[in-house]
Structure 1
Amino acid sequence: MNATSDTAPVKAKHATELLGKAPSIDELVPALSFLSERLVRILPGELARISGGDPPVVRAGMPMDTTLGGIQSELETLAAHALLGAGPKNLPLLATFEAAPVFRLVDRAFGGNGVVPDPLPDRFPVSAELLLARIEGAIAATLSQLFSHETATLVRPLRRDTSLRQLDPFDMRADLLQLSLDIEEAGAEPWTLSLAFPVTTLGPLLLPQRKAPRLRTAPRKAGPTEEPFASLMLELTAVLVDMPMPMRRLSALRPGDVIPVPVSRAVPLMAGGQIIATGTVGELDDMVAVQVGQAF
């Protein structure tokens, strides 16, 4: 039987290329173990809202690496699989409930002693689906509180199915870390649920983001129109005459002598002893001017 939460179905597949290089299992086991210590303190209060009784005792086992195929091989009877999404990208994680504990909880909710149908049916009744939805909400609320310490991440239920193949939460060969939770309530038989996290989900949620090293780039050189050069004052010289004269003639110069001056058609403009342009002599606003004809 398929059951869907109020949230519209979302395909939750995440390629490693999009999420960056996945961290190793060895890196994630300590981080998930630390998270489980906080989880067993918060989850009882959320579950107590469902039963209306005292908070149960929740114990977490050591994280175990597995795959979806490994989870499927351990199930011998009916089970419910709930896909949850973390954060705006709906990073996927999986909650699995075996049928017997669910039917036991449903019977107790209706005043029974926790009787399990024998044989187990091949689908969950509506009463069980409603209870599963409430447990999923408790798990999502708990994980939201835990992940908010790291990334202010909201976890929400997405969809549920009794078939892992139909649910298709992530690649069957994806590396997972599975956390088993044993839940003990007064006067009732203990029950178990499991949470499975792909390493590509746990990495962004539990470990500091790995940023690619920034490549050093050579500083850009400022151009002549940019500071600090733009306002720098330079002396500009227009060479109107550049003519050789023998020493004998130069020593014989007297006031009133006239020297013929051959003005070049291309007057050089110089800055710092270097020719930067050439032009022709003319007049502008009753002043001698040089019109630039070529710049270097």
Structure 2
Amino acid sequence: MNMQSAHFGQSTRAKHCAELLGTEPTIDELVPALSLLGERLARVLPGRLSQFSGGEAPLVRIGMPMDCTLGSIQAEIENLASHTLLTIGPENLPMLATFEAAPVLRLIDRAFGGLGVAPEPLPESFPLSAELLLKRLEGALADALTEALGGGEQHKVGAVRRDTSLRYLNPFDRRQDLLQLSLEVEEPGIEPWSFSIAFPQPTLGAVMAAPRHPVRQRAHRTPSDPVSEPFGSMPVPVTAVLVDMTIGFSRLSSLKPGDVLPVAVARSVPLQVDGRTIATGTIGEVEDRVAVQILQAF
């Protein structure tokens, strides 16, 4: 299996080397694209996950894109987890999905009539029921990603293999720069559950480079001027998201003054209007006040 994994990684790099594709976009340039993909995924994924919540579509929240590596993903996992290698399109562009054991086992407990409680201590390996559920979760995620990326064979996502060890799964180079999204699923009456997806830089650059829809010819008309009245003086609340984190309800309920929560501040800070990202920038200071310098607006 290790030899097959190594061969897969080498062929992928050969297809998408810099000499063939030109200069690859940087991580900072890909953050806004992944934010937009996350917003599309948050709209289409609930319908796919309704099969796990009694037919009711849950609410899906997408965290900020965070840069990482396979090593840092492994270091943050304290207990059993399942890692799935997925590929995109006919080029087999690789990406990674990670499901920790506790959320999966809570879903299984609820499916069998329980309250959605994970066993303590957690098992050292996944039972057969968890393996079957993971296969369904992979399928739901793959279908949602295919739709969010634009659909068609060019963006079709499929699960290739899974393992509880990133070392044995060997999806791509351990030192490869990745961008990771955390997805939190909220349903009434139960504790939220989450998982994550991670894209190597070449994969994200390739799938986000092509236009998603054909350009349509529109009748010529003069656009409204946003700086003129009545639009110019209209107040629009803008939110700069410095930290977006997921915390278990039990940990949240036990917080007390003096506790310290370690957080990771994103490299590129999104500016949002009504939950939609309109620009990204970096945090700085102007005249003793915290400020955001716009790097990209869209």
TM-score by length of 1: 0.65
What corresponds to 2:59 in structure 1? 57
Shift of 1:17: 1.9
Per mean C-alpha deviation after superposition, the further-off stretch among 139-148 and 65-74 is: 139-148
Query: In the alignment, is the contact (CA less than 8 A) between 1:81 and 1:96 conserved in 2?
Result: yes
Matched to 1:166, the amino acid is Y
Shift of 1:12: 3.7
Query: In the alignment, is the contact (CA less than 8 A) between 1:83 and 1:92 conserved in 2?
Result: yes
Shift of 1:10: 10
Q: Of 26, 35, 38, which residue of structure 1 is paired with 2:37?
A: 35
Alpha-carbon distance between aligned partners in 1 of 2:80 and 2:180, rounded to the nearest angstrom: 19
Q: Residues 135 and 11 from structure 1, CA distance in 2 versus in 1: closer, same or farther, beyond 3 angstroms?
A: farther
In the TM superposition, what whole-angstrom CA distance separates every residue of 1:95-148 from its partner, at most 9, and x where no partner exists?
001111110000001111112111111100010011111011011001111122
Alpha-carbon distance between aligned partners in 2 of 1:53 and 1:185, rounded to the nearest angstrom: 11
Alpha-carbon distance between aligned partners in 1 of 2:142 and 2:5, rounded to the nearest angstrom: 16
Residue 17 of structure 2 corresponds to residue 17 of structure 1: yes
What corresponds to 1:72 in structure 2? 74
Alpha-carbon distance between aligned partners in 2 of 1:10 and 1:64, rounded to the nearest angstrom: 26
Shift of 1:67: 0.3
TM-score by length of 2: 0.64
Query: In the alignment, is the contact (CA less than 8 A) between 2:106 and 2:118 conserved in 1?
Result: yes
Query: In the alignment, is the contact (CA less than 8 A) between 1:105 and 1:114 conserved in 2?
Result: yes
Query: In the alignment, is the contact (CA less than 8 A) between 2:146 and 2:152 conserved in 1?
Result: no
Matched to 1:17, the amino acid is C
Q: Of 176, 188, 201, which residue of structure 2 is paired with 1:174?
A: 176
Whose radius of gyration is greater, 1 or 2?
A: 1
Structure 1 segment 102-251 matched on structure 2, within 5 A: 102-148=104-150, 152-208=154-210
Alpha-carbon distance between aligned partners in 2 of 1:47 and 1:9, rounded to the nearest angstrom: 30
Shift of 1:9: 8.5
Shift of 1:22: 2.6
Identity %: 58
Aligned-residue Cα RMSD (Å) equals: 2.2
Alpha-carbon distance between aligned partners in 1 of 2:204 and 2:117, rounded to the nearest angstrom: 37
Higher helix residue share:
2
Matched to 2:196, the amino acid is S
Alpha-carbon distance between aligned partners in 2 of 1:164 and 1:74, rounded to the nearest angstrom: 13
What corresponds to 1:250 in structure 2? none
Q: Residues 134 and 79 from structure 1, CA distance in 2 versus in 1: closer, same or farther, beyond 3 angstroms?
A: same
Alpha-carbon distance between aligned partners in 2 of 1:48 and 1:71, rounded to the nearest angstrom: 28
What corresponds to 1:285 in structure 2? none
For 1:135, what is the secondary structure of its paired residue? Answer: helix
For 2:67, what is the secondary structure of its paired residue? Answer: strand
In the TM superposition, what whole-angstrom CA distance separates every residue of 1:191-224 from its partner, at most 9, and x where no partner exists?
1100000011001100249xxxxxxxxxxxxxxx
Matched to 2:17, the amino acid is E
Matched to 1:26, the amino acid is D
In the TM superposition, what whole-angstrom CA distance separates every residue of 1:158-215 from its partner, at most 9, and x where no partner exists?
1000000000000000000000011111111101100000011001100249xxxxxx
Matched to 1:99, the amino acid is A
Shift of 1:50: 3.5
For 1:33, what is the secondary structure of its paired residue? Answer: helix
Which structure 1 residue ranges, 4+ long, deviate > 4 Å from structure 2? 8-11
For 1:122, what is the secondary structure of its paired residue? Answer: coil
Matched to 2:141, the amino acid is I
Alpha-carbon distance between aligned partners in 1 of 2:156 and 2:107, rounded to the nearest angstrom: 27
For 2:155, what is the secondary structure of its paired residue? Answer: coil
Alpha-carbon distance between aligned partners in 2 of 1:87 and 1:11, rounded to the nearest angstrom: 18
